[in-house]
Structure 1
Amino acid sequence: MSYPPTGPQQPDRPEPAGGWGVPPASGYGSGAPAPQQHGDGSQQGQYGQQGQYGQYGQQGEHDQYGQQGQYGQYGQYGAPSGPEPGLPQAQVGIIPLRPLRLGDLYEGAFRAIRTNPVVMFVLSGIVVTVLAVLTYLVSAGPLAELAAWTPSDPETLTQEDLDQMTSTLGSLAVTTGITSLLSLVVTTLLTGLLMQTVSQAVLGRKLSLGEAWRESAPLFARLLGLTLLVTLLVVAPVGIAAVLAVLTFAAVGLTAGALVTFLLVVVALAAMLFLATVTLLATPALMLERAGVGTALRRGWRLGIRSFWRILGIYLLTSVIIGVVSGMISGPGSSLASLASPTVAMVVSVALSALVQAFTTPFLASVVALLYIDQRIRYEALDVELAAAARR
């Protein structure tokens, strides 16, 4: 089930095809005049001519796109405040087919979960619960050893004590690495599948679990490769800053080294935020355009850099909301459970963590997918393609 169907994907081409249609390269169709630029960057194409999006401008059942008809004037949707009052809004699924406001993004994310709770919530709950249980089982042994280990008096610390502490910390580091890698893989695949479900909900379609799996599974290998590459890119500034800090301390001494290290930390954090923002839309680009890894990174950059501060602000706000909600749910429960035995406290902590992630994972995936759709509506007139695809 392509969305909208436009042909097979060429993974390594600069501009992807397939999945969500071909994004315009230099215009909106051969021979079509250049699109008009609006105040917020949205564009109004000449849909009445034969071009990249087909002959949507011919007079027919749904009137002419670009003129006032069933879907209104697309050019009026360019303003952040929404469409011109009095014009109808096309909405066949979870969001109106126009540039989205913050409220539209969050409302669309909630609607995506309510529209398909089996895939969006139940599946997420099962996956994160199994992952949390596996993490607990793998980490329980080293954590118990570390909790039970009582160091001797520092003056009488023996080599046996040091060996025991080293062995316990080594085991804990190995298990933490294994569980972190497992969590990354599982969460990545789940996020890709959820984004596929959200993309169809925009068209008013409800994917079954089997359909969502068939649409997403062929892209999982590429998705894992993209996630690992993005992770390396985002954490690279920290590694570079650490190396430079060590060299600085060795060259200029403690006082000057501390000042330079502080500046390096600030620069590294800013670089991490920048890279995380411009790569945020690469995942939905890969899943919904069925693009290759390199193509998805380029698409994510092109879509993300055009509204960098808006995307960064929305992503940070969403992360803060998720953090607050997670703390409100898991904090009091874990505190009460800690009054009981350590085993009870651990079980309650795992259960609450799974419950929180069962909701926050699909919510965050939905927001990112809708941000991608919003960017394409603003700059590539995707709403016209979506309106046409919804009628097919």
Structure 2
Amino acid sequence: MTQDQGWGGGARDGGPPGGYGPYGGGGPLPYGGQPPYGGQPPPGWGPPPYGSGPPPGWGGWSRPRGPKPGVIPLSPLDLGEILGGAFSTLGRYWRQLLGIALAVFGVAFLLAGGALAMAYAVVGEHLSAVVDTGRSTPARADVQPLIIAFVVLWVVVTAVLLLATAVMQACCPAIVQEAVLGRPVRVGATLLRALSRVPAVLGTVLLSGLIMMIPVLLFITGIVSTMVTVVATGGWDPAGLLIPLAFAGALVLGPLAVWLWVLFSLAPAVVVIESRGPLAALRRSVELVRGSWWRICGISLLAFVIASVAGMALQQLFNVTRLFPGAFDTGEFGYEPTFGQIFVAVSGYLVLALVGQLVGQIFSTTFPQLVLGLLYIDQRIRKEDLAPALIAASASPAASPGGP
């Protein structure tokens, strides 16, 4: 693209003549002294008294809007446009999002189920001994392997779910990047790109998660120290002051943790779209959020609240479906129903409950990440004049693998 074909700050700033909205150069016209959509003003909009009037959609105080090749206009966004863009992304790309989420969480459930089956194969005899024993206190030789297996299983399941969440956090910015430009999304290509960025996304998630754990760790440390001191000394002084101090420390560090969490909230989008490492992504997120902390905090919290309420509503919808008569009709039960009848009835309810849980989890996981991805785009439009580059990218026939 030559200099005269691009969209920038005007010829005197190293960009093309004319420009786009408030970002370009140009003649003596409103909103920064340039025509809104190119080097020439729209037909009928001359010098004062403005010919036949302003162009359609331009009121007395309305701001110029950019072109909209995808889910958002390519100009600074307000709250409605960000939330509307997230819902539009869900509406346009729900098949891709659902396919990716089913693949990711399906594999996660298979891995968790495999870990559970392996744990049962290892300690099943000890579990049977503890359950079937007639003694009030099970033998230590049977309880200890169960505790170890439970801890290992909990760690494995937590790691699997964390990995699945990281994959979704990597997929959502990749989909947002294409949705902003109005381009199609392929499930296989998106998954391959997301998997290549999962280690960096995991690094950002773990680093920001450690920050959120500071108040909790302080509280736990205070409680444990108090209990150890009380047991050792047999009294509450001076150990009794540790619990109030722990609470005070949590109250002081809690807002600090929230402040840092908002500063780092755009890091996953930076990792995927700009292909940066964890530490560089955190620094980049701080740079983008600085000056707009309250706005990003409010929109992010609203997105998480909407996702939580919608996820619970979807789960309740499936729960209500189970209450309809005949939803799982297995025939008339006798006084002594067979095991097969009971299994079919219970398994139907369990499958529907799992489906409702999965649908709610998909929405509550994807919607906030879509909003954060749009906030990342919005901050770059506001701070770095990304709109001209997006306009040029939307006009190109193929997507750039490295992002805008």
TM-score (norm 2): 0.69
The CA deviation at 1:370 is 0.4
Matching of residues 1-392 of structure 1 within 5 Å: 47-49=9-11, 55-58=15-18, 64=24, 67-70=34-37, 84-85=61-62, 87-136=64-113, 138-139=115-116, 157-160=136-139, 164-247=142-225, 250=229, 252-253=237-238, 255-331=240-316, 333=318, 346-392=350-396
1:368 aligned partner, one-letter code: L
> 1:299, CA displacement in angstroms?
0.6
* 1:236–1:68 CA distance, 2 compared to 1 (3 A): same
Where structure 2 has 5 or more consecutive residues not aligned to the other structure, the ranges are: 2-6, 26-31, 42-58, 230-235, 329-341, 397-404
Could you give the per-residue CA deviations for residues 157-209 of structure 1, whole angstroms, max 9, x where no partner exists? 4252x654554344233212111111111221232122112112111222322
Q: Which has the higher contact order (CA 8 A, sep 6+)?
A: 1
Displacement of 1:374? 1.2
Q: Percent identity?
A: 26
Q: Provide the rounded CA distance (Å) in 2 between the counterparts of 1:272 and 1:232.
A: 9
Q: How far 1:129 sits from its partner (Å)?
A: 3.5
Q: How much has 1:268 moved relative to structure 2? A: 3.9
**Rg (Cα) greater in structure:** 2
> Structure 1 CA distance, aligned partners of 2:372 and 2:154?
28
TM-score normalised over the length of structure 1: 0.71
User: Judging changes above 3 Å, is the alpha-carbon distance between structure 1 residues 120 and 57 closer, same or farther for their aligned structure 2 residues?
Assistant: farther
Structure 1 pair 105/390, CA: closer, same or farther in 2 (3 Å)?
Answer: same
Q: Given the superposition, is the C-alpha separation of residues 118 and 331 from structure 1 closer, same or farther in structure 2, using an over 3 Å criterion?
A: closer
Q: Contact 1:191/1:362 (CA < 8 Å) preserved in 2? A: yes
1:71–1:90 CA contact under 8 A, matched in 2: no
Cα contact 1:71–1:89 (8 A) shared by 2: no
What RMSD, in angstroms, separates the aligned Cα atoms of the two structures?
3.9
- Give 1:228's aligned amino acid: L
- Long gaps (5+) in structure 1: 5-44, 74-81
Matched-pair contact (CA < 8 Å) for 1:92–1:203: yes
Amino acid at match of 1:390: S
Quote the offset at 1:273 in angstroms: 1.7
When residues 91 and 384 of structure 1 are mapped into structure 2, their CA distance, relative to the original with a 3 A threshold, is: same
Maintained 8 Å contact 2:19/2:38: no
Offset at residue 306 of structure 1 (A): 2.1
Deviations 1:310-338 (A, max 9, x none): 22222222222222222222246458869
CA distance in 1, matches of 2:114, 2:81: 41
Instruction: Please tell me whether the aligned partners of residues 121 and 359 of structure 1 are also in contact (alpha carbons under 8 angstroms).
Output: no
Output the amino acid matched with 1:56. Answer: P
Please state whether the residue corresponding to 2:276 is helix, strand or coil: coil
